[in-house]
Amino acid sequence: MRRALLLAAVSPLVFYLQINPAHAADDATSVSEVVVTAQKLDAVRTGIQTQTGASTYVIGREAIQAAPGGADVGLNTVILQAPSVVQDSFGQLHVRGEHNGLQFRLNGVILPEGISAFGQTLNPRLADKVQLITGALPATYGLRTAGVIDITTRDGLENGGEISLSGGTHNTLHPSIEAQGSHEGFNVFATADWQTSDLGIESPDGRSTPLHDRTRQTHAFAYMEQILNPDTRITGILGSSTETFEIPNKSGLQPGSLDGVNGLGPIDPSTGNGVLRVNGQSAFASENLNENQREITHYGVVSLLHSGTDFDFQLSAFGRFSSLTFRPDPVGDLLYDGIAQNAYKRDVAGGLQFEGVYHLGDSHTLRGGLSAQIDRSTGNTTSRVLPVDGAGNQTSDVPLSVTETTAKTAHTYSGYIQDEWKLGDSLTLNYGLRYDRFEGYVTEDQLSPRINLVWKPLDGTTVHAGYSRYFSPPPFELASSTTIAAFAGTTAQAPGTVNDPPKAERANYYDLGVSQKVLPGLTLGIDAYYKQSKNMIDEGQFGAPIILAVFNYRQGEQGGVEFSANYVRGHFTGYANLAIARAMGKDIVSGQFNFDPADLAYIQDHWIHVDHDQKYTGSAGASYRLGRTTFTTDLIYGSGLRADGATPNGDHLDAYVVANAGVAQNLDLGAFKDLTVRVDVINVFDKVYEIRDGSGIGVGASQYGARRGVFVGVSKKF
């Protein structure tokens, strides 16, 4: 690997060295020193944070490029390659039965959460590798504990770049460019892309190209580092994304009958009874609805890394701005939903993170860290509603306006200390304490013990076992502050009036796993976990804007077993995962006004499946390189998310298998040197499958997975 990196860094200097032979030796030595120093500092950064005892799944840049769609897919699609990762609508992911609960890090630095619903802020092009860290996490990781997605960014040590263009089904067009270079200890990598498509959000009715579903997306990213000396460097990261989405429509519908609260359900074609009226209008073809959403995110990180004789540390400052703007159809939304809401929500967050490691002899490695974050969330909504009487009957067809402005600040403080103790050549114990304090809608804190044991009894065998106490504050940017009374006596009146604030989730987590190399290149693994929660966090879509709101179950339980296999041999790589899981909740204790009173009463005394629970989840993939041609395929399997049955979330949707395939051809013929052409087919068998059916606790609408798509791309290195 070191030799490959050296060659990649030195090759752009060949021409210069040929015409400046007197400087050839010095320049080659300088480039070599930069590469070696950068690699050493990368190892130092990795050593500051430990994953001892956690379950870690690594997806490298070659695996990202080899998969169907390559780096043109969203980051969520890349992470679906890992075990126990369930796909949901709007690009959401659920790891081990959690609703989101994911923390994103760039080179180990926390990236504050944003409020985007559909967007994929982080593009796979920026990643050298993606790690999903889950299970019984060491004290290093906290706050969001379903999984840590730590992205190691590309670093600019390889001079050159690439320009690419892809497109295909759904009128998709996706150009991109990336460039990188190194000079006298300063390294930079930058990438940007633009995408437009007629499939921005999942289809609501299963058709291949939905009505009114255009998206336009722009992403940009830059990584810069300056090596000050062999033991110190400063790095900077800047990123931005701007994405606009049309909200897709079903066809052939008319506004429904008033059920006492909202205009829902099919119209009675024989009488037309109960249809809402807006200024005398009651008919509105669903295909003419015009709802739109825009999501903007900007983020930045600055880090100082220093390596000493026994003590290494990294000090980082980070920040993120995100906003969401929803524009309704002013008449159509009123007729269909009883509310047309212009919504703007913004969240600005920033903080500091300090982490260090002290090597105390051969047996003990001490690690510790401190972090602090401030978060400012603001919102402004203007809702057009219609007046109703106590029985829910419309009393006027002239809309009313309800305006709400909210602003709230939260503070989060965290600290940890832990010791990695080598008890012998084959046994390592990692134990520590973590403290977290959250000051938001409520103020809560917790001291959390963590302990993990890793045992390697035989060559190729690794056993890990761990216990972690977790403290997870509610996602502050999603917490609801709706004034319930403002909508009383209107078509947007809430089902209830109780609105307790969201609380932090507190949990005990247990994990036990074994991995075994059974053949050259083949590793098998099995991992079992169990989590018991108080105030378990969940999220749901309530109201017209596609903005998720957080709520708590008083009790929660999640558990499961996952099986994995990975094979790398020569030019062939393959993987397969199967997970069995169950996630249950009981008694909703915050944001109660969003729920039907009958559902609340049932859930108060009964355990139910949470809406994102999926019993069986699988993924598999393989790639093979034959000369300059790479063949690839992958698939995902799901037994179906929850839907309402005889009880809330008492049923599930149909199971599905979606297969994808691709082929990439590298050309090296004169003017076509370093040119790659690829063809990818997504959902090869055109499987029609439903992700959501619009029923269930916290589920707002139906969504179907993407139908078959054929995409062609060409890229040229320079």
What number is the average pLDDT over the span 686-695?
91
pLDDT at residue 237 tops 50: yes
Highest mean pLDDT among 484-488, 660-664, 689-693: 660-664
Mean pLDDT of the region 453-460: 94
Find, among 470, 466, 448, the residue nearest to 556 by Cα: 470
Helical (H) or strand (E) element with 19: helix 14-19
**Residue 668 has what pLDDT?**
83
Q: How are the residues of the chain apportioned to helix, strand and coil, as percentages rounded to the nearest 5?
A: 15, 55, 30
- Amino acid identity of residue 254, one-letter, is Q
Q: What are residue 422's DSSP bridge partners? A: 428
Spatial neighbors of 580 by CB under 8 A, at least 6 apart, are 560, 561, 562, 615, 616
pLDDT of 698 higher than 70: no
Inform me whether the pLDDT recorded for 260 exceeds 90.
no
Give residue 145's region: left, alpha or beta (phi > 0; psi -120 to 50).
Answer: alpha
Chain segment 132-166, per-residue pLDDT in tens: 999 999 999 999 999 999 999 998 788 899 999 99
Q: How far apart are CA 248 and CA 205, in angstroms?
A: 9
What own/partner pairs with CB < 8 Å and gap ≥ 24 does 446-450 have?
446/471, 446/504, 446/506, 448/139, 448/142, 450/136, 450/137, 450/138, 450/139, 450/418
The residue ranking higher by pLDDT, 84 or 269, is 84
Confidence check: pLDDT of 23 > 70: no
**φ/ψ (deg, to 5) at 216:** -135, 130
What domains are defined for the chain?
49-717 (2.40.170.20)
Mean of pLDDT over the chain: 88
Token pair of 403 as six digits = 């305006």
Q: Tokens 């009957």 appear where?
A: 393
Give the amino acid at 324: L
Residues 314 and 356: their CA atoms lie apart, in Å, by 6
Res. 287: pLDDT tops 60: yes
Judge whether residue 441 has pLDDT over 90: no
Backbone angles phi, psi at 360, to 5 degrees: -100, 80
Q: How many CB atoms lie within 10 A of CB 518?
A: 11
Are the beta carbons of 470 and 70 closer than 8 angstroms?
no
Contact 648/696 with Cβ under 8 angstroms? yes
Q: Compute the distance between CA of residue 502 and CA of residue 589 in angstroms, rounded to an integer.
A: 8
Burial class (CB in 10 A: 0-12, 13-18, 19+), 673: exposed
Identify whether the C-beta of residue 646 lies closer than 8 Å to the C-beta of residue 604: no
515-559 tens-digit pLDDT: 999 999 999 999 999 999 999 999 887 765 566 788 999 999 999
What was the pLDDT predicted at 253?
87
Q: Give the list of residues 6+ apart from residue 136 with CB closer than 8 angstroms, or none.
A: 53, 54, 450, 452, 465, 466, 467, 468, 509, 510, 511, 529
Nearest to 433 by CA among 140, 84, 101: 140
Query: Residue 273 has what pLDDT?
Result: 44
User: For the CA atoms of 556, 562, 568, 569, what is the dihedral angle to 10 degrees?
Assistant: 180
Cα–Cα distance for residue pair 349/376, rounded to 1 Å = 6
Structure tokens at 506: 């507190």
If pLDDT is split at 50, 70 and 90, which confidence band does 580 have? Answer: very high
Amino acid at 450: R
**Looking at residue 409, what is its pLDDT?**
94
Return the number of other C-beta atoms located less than 10 Å from residue 4's C-beta. 9
Amino acid, single-letter form, for residue 111: L
Q: How confident is the model at residue 482 (pLDDT cuts 50, 70, 90)?
A: low
Q: What is the mean pLDDT of residues 96-124?
A: 86
Query: In this predicted structure, what is the pLDDT of residue 185?
Result: 87
pLDDT tier at 485 (50, 70, 90 boundaries)? confident
Name the least confident of 46-60, 190-204, 275-289, 693-707. Answer: 693-707
Give the pLDDT score at 33.
75
The per-residue pLDDT for 699 is 67
Stretch 94-107: mean pLDDT: 91
Which pair of tokens denotes residue 196?
């437009």
What digits encode the pLDDT tens for the residues 626-655? 999 999 999 999 999 999 999 999 999 999
Nearest to 495 by CA among 264, 226, 252, 206: 264
Taking only the tens place, the pLDDT of each residue in 361-410 is 889 999 999 999 999 999 999 999 999 988 888 899 999 999 999 899 99
| pLDDT at 346 > cutoff 50 | yes
What's the DSSP call for residue 36?
Answer: H
Within the chain, what is the greatest distance between any pair of CA atoms?
A: 94
**Helix residue spans in 491-571 (DSSP H):** none
Q: Determine the Cα–Cα distance for residues 601 and 366; give it in Å rounded to an integer.
A: 50
Q: Is the predicted pLDDT of residue 479 greater than 90, yes or no?
A: no
As given in the structure block, the two tokens for residue 657 are 């298998």
Give helix 24-48 / helix 2-10 axis angle, nearest 10°: 130
What average pLDDT score do residues 177-195 get? 93
Rounded CA-CA distance 153/65 in Å is: 15
Q: Which of 630, 616, 621, 593 is nearest to 713 (CA)?
A: 630
| Contact of 537 with 505, CB cutoff 8 Å | yes
Residue 462 near residue 454 (C-beta atoms within 8 A):
yes
| 329, two tokens | 């159809």
Identify the pLDDT of residue 497.
84
Q: What is residue 274's predicted lDDT score, i.e. its pLDDT?
A: 57
How far apart, in whole angstroms, are the C-alpha atoms of residue 168 and residue 310?
54
Choose among 2, 90, 449: nearest CA to 295: 90
Which residue type occupies 248?
A: P
Pairing of strands 147-153, 102-106: parallel
